[in-house]
Amino acid sequence: MTSDHIIRTAAPEGVHPGTGYTHVVLGTGTFVAVSGQCAFDEQGRIVGAGDPEAQARQVFENLRRCLAAAGATFEDVVKMTYYVTDVRHMAALRTARDAHIPADRLPAASAVQVAALVDPELLMEVEAFAVIPPAAR
């Protein structure tokens, strides 16, 4: 899939297509790195303690706000890394992701189960890399 400044190759020749991600994403423009976002609200309180769906929604809202601060949107995201304390939380993250990113615009992605995050009530953290067109800045 191609946009103005990003090219996505879901499955290069000889590589099995991924489920829920694109194997290769290439972009031209300004690189944006968004630190891992957790389910903190504006006051630093955890949203949805023990609730993966509520935490995933807050994580993606925080990602949206951080991307916007750089002049980017989810359309510009080329790579996401998911850190979860239980791999079963990936379903909630996929649901939240799908509410923001169309299936034909999925970024490259990695998912890692970790022993813990910065607070024991946090279930997930997501970081994102984006590329915005030069004129967007």
Q: Tens digits of per-residue pLDDT, 18-37?
A: 888 999 998 999 999 999 99
The tokens 């991307």 sit on which residue?
67
Identify the architecture of domain 6-136 in CATH: 2-Layer Sandwich (3.30)
Query: In degrees, to the nearest 5, what angle opens at C-alpha 111 toward C-alphas 107 and 95?
Result: 65
Cβ proximity of 29 and 131 under 8 Å: yes
Q: Tens digits of per-residue pLDDT, 93-124?
A: 999 999 999 999 999 999 999 999 999 999 99
pLDDT at 126 over 60: yes
pLDDT for position 3: 62
CA 54 to centroid of chain Cα atoms: 16
pLDDT for position 1: 46
Q: Where are the domains of the chain?
A: 6-136
Q: Tens digits of per-residue pLDDT, 70-95?
A: 999 999 999 999 999 999 999 999 99
pLDDT for position 19: 86
Q: What is the C-alpha separation between 26 and 95, in angstroms, rounded?
A: 25
Contacts of residue 95, defined as CB under 8 A and 6 or more positions apart, other chains included, come to 53, 56
At 79, list the tokens: 């790579």
Helices (H), the chain: 52-69, 90-98
42 or 1: which leads in pLDDT: 42
